[in-house]
Amino acid sequence: MALKERERQHVHAFREAVESYAVREGIGCEPERVDHPGEAVLSSRFSAGPHQWYVLTVQPFLPQFSAGALTDDPFCDKDFERLSLQAGLTKPEFVQLGFEAAGLVWRDPPVQHFRDRDNVYYFVTPVDLPSFEMLTEAATIDKAKRMLLGYHLAFSGRVA
């Protein structure tokens, strides 16, 4: 299944808006697009240092987007985990603090922590969308921007 041209334009506009914001706000470097064949998973990664990235991912066929932090270094993954533990917070509470610092009020956001088959460790918060068209809405774009900034503030040690 492939995206229709209109859907591809929606995804492109959403990614462009969030990517340009992330660059302006200093959330990592220029984005690297890491898209899977078939357009099922479309990711924009922002390097934040050796083996660390912030990520925005769109899964248009669900429809869903997510924002988070990732690393391919198991020691860095443990450092990420320690950030919340040192603050005496659960992962959702820790991410919630980052979101609040970014101006997004979201009590107990879901935080998925997993390792993929390429040994990349993820901390991400997914957002299910009732419809694909919501990617074009200003509120959805704003939420994605604040989520990415919130992860940056939390995982760079600027909150807690």
| Per-residue pLDDT tens over the stretch 63-103 | 999 999 999 999 999 988 888 888 889 999 999 999 999 99
| Cα–Cα distance, 55 to 121 (Å, whole number) | 12
In the chain, where the domains are located: 5-155
pTM, two decimal places: 0.94
| CA pseudo-torsion sign 50, 56, 61, 62 | positive
Q: What is the pLDDT of residues 20-47, one digit of tens each?
A: 999 999 998 899 999 998 999 999 999 9
Portion of the chain with pLDDT greater than 90, in percent: 84
Q: CA nearest 151: which of 75, 44, 56?
A: 56
Average pLDDT, the chain: 94
Contact 119, 39 (CB under 8 A): no
